[in-house]
């Protein structure tokens, strides 16, 4: 088995982890090492976002207030989730990375954003909320609808399929939908034609099929269309080493927070 190691180039990796890195560890040990590094030396949300945007603390505070203060948004999502899924949405479900993506979009003020993997549409709602508050930009999403469990994608989720009778992105509040275009089908069908149409994009998020091949395919396909200074981000970077390998290929270091990775072109 080929040895795949996780990041060593990060400034915040302490010596003992570098030592671990020099040992002959297999992929799982390396993934564990990355998790350990992120838990022990995790950056604050502000520092994480600052790395990519140079945002001031004052501006960050204002974005955070806009997010945390939006009771209507959170109440809508929670009520809708409970009505449809018959379960309360857990705080964990919002996931730190939804907040990070919101801050990134508020700070970068992008014109064009692409995401792969929508499912219920929780992350999509955060992306669209940020675009709405910027009063600028459009989100293009690609999703192969999970009418049945999809191995390598939804199989580890609390719910592995869309709820009966509901469409992709069913939870997205109606007031956020005017900046959204959805393409249904696999990313390897829609991504390239969409990129050819858009010519240049500002931010990409992967959260679709987490096989090495598909993740690498999406990163490599998007890269030439991402503007200089644009953001390539991915959920579940610890499922396999594709994000790490890609960052080496394009010679960009990345920052990870838990399982969410971001690199800047």
Ligand X SMILES: C[S@@+](CC[C@H](N)C(=O)[O-])C[C@H]1O[C@@H](n2cnc3c(N)ncnc32)[C@H](O)[C@@H]1O
The residue count for the chain: 265
Minimum CB distance to ligand X, residue 188 (Å): 7
Q: Which residue in 5, 49, 100, 150 binds ligand X (CB under 6 A)? A: 150
Q: Classify 182 as helix, strand or coil.
A: strand
Q: 182 forms bridges with which residues in the sheet?
A: 141
Minimum CB distance to ligand X, residue 175 (Å): 18
Q: Which residue in 30, 31, 122, 238 binds ligand X (CB under 6 A)? A: 122
Write down the residue that tokens 């990313």 correspond to.
Answer: 187
The interface with ligand X within residues 190-229 (CB under 6 A) comprises 207-209, 214
Nearer to ligand X, 146 or 226 (CB): 146
CA angle 50, 56, 58 (to 5 degrees): 130
Encoded tokens for 88: 């309360």
Burial (CB < 10 A; 0-12, 13-18, 19+), residue 245, is: middle
CA distance 128 to 142: 15
Residues in contact with ligand X, shown as a per-residue x/- string from 59 to 98 under the rule CB under 6 A: ----------------------------------------
CA distance 135 to 154: 32
Minimum CB distance to ligand X, residue 21 (Å): 29
Residues in contact with ligand X, shown as a per-residue x/- string from 3 to 42 under the rule CB under 6 A: ----------------------------------------
CA distance 222 to 201: 8
Applying CB under 6 A, does 142 fall inside the site for ligand X? yes
Binding-site ranges for ligand X (CB under 6 A): 116-120, 122-123, 142-146, 150, 153-154, 186-187, 207-209, 214
């Amino acid at each position: 088995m080929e040895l795949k190691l996780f990041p060593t180039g990060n400034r915040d990796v302490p010596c003992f982890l570098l030592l671990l890195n020099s040992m002959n560890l297999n992929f799982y040990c390396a993934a564990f090492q990355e998790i350990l590094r992120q838990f022990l030396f995790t950056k604050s949300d502000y520092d994480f976002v600052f790395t990519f945007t140079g945002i001031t603390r004052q501006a960050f505070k204002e974005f955070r207030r806009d997010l945390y203060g939006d009771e209507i948004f959170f109440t809508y999502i929670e009520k809708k989730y409970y009505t449809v899924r018959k379960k309360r949405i857990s705080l964990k479900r919002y996931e730190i990375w939804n907040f990070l993506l919101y801050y990134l979009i508020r700070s970068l003020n992008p014109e064009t954003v692409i995401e792969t993997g929508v499912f219920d549409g929780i992350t999509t709602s955060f992306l669209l909320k940020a675009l709405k508050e910027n009063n600028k930009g459009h989100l293009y999403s690609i999703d192969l609808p999970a009418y049945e469990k999809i191995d390598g994608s939804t199989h580890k989720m609390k719910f592995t399929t869309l709820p009966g009778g509901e469409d992709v992105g069913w939870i997205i509040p109606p007031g956020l939908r005017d900046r959204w275009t959805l393409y249904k089908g696999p990313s390897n069908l829609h991504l390239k034609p969409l990129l050819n149409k858009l010519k240049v994009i500002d931010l990409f998020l992967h959260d679709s099929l987490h096989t090495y091949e598909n993740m690498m395919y999406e990163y490599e396909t998007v890269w030439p269309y991402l503007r200089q200074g644009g953001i390539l981000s991915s959920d579940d970077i610890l499922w396999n080493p594709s994000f790490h390998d890609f960052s080496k290929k394009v010679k960009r270091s990345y920052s990870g927070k838990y399982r969410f990775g971001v690199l800047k072109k």
